[in-house]
Amino acid sequence: DTAVSQTPKYLVTQMGNDKSIKCEQNLGHDTMYWYKQDSKKFLKIMFSYNNKELIINETVPNRFSPKSPDKAHLNLHINSLELGDSAVYFCASSQAGTGPLNTEAFFGQGTRLTVV
């Protein structure tokens, strides 16, 4: 049973289109994240949500809009896709907090987005 699952795993789309990536976790975690891995393999956080509330927004363009309908789901919607958006997008979850409650992040398998 997959702990953090993302769909789709691969996404090829044309410039200007709007697309969504879905993420679900069955670990009972309070916090979910979106990370972007670029072509050089560099991973950087985009957003984090804690109990459906946006906690971190790391200067991501407004074309990216996360949505968390409940604490087990965090979707990423991207408007007006650009060539530079091509990357692997990872969803993750953790039972995060301060001090000893901060635990490891569990990652989904990633979604490879290719904009043509």
Letters for 71-90 (x = contact with other proteins by CB under 8 A, - = none) are -----------------x-x
Separation CA 7–CA 62 (nearest Å): 22
Least Å distance, CB 98 to other proteins, is: 5
Q: What count of other Cβ atoms lies within 10 Å of the Cβ of residue 27?
A: 13
| Cβ-proximal residues to 7 (8 Å cutoff; 6+ apart), any chain | 21, 22, 111
Interface residue list for other proteins (CB under 8 A): 31, 33, 35, 40-45, 48, 50, 55-56, 88, 90, 92, 94, 96-99, 102, 104-107, 109-110, 112
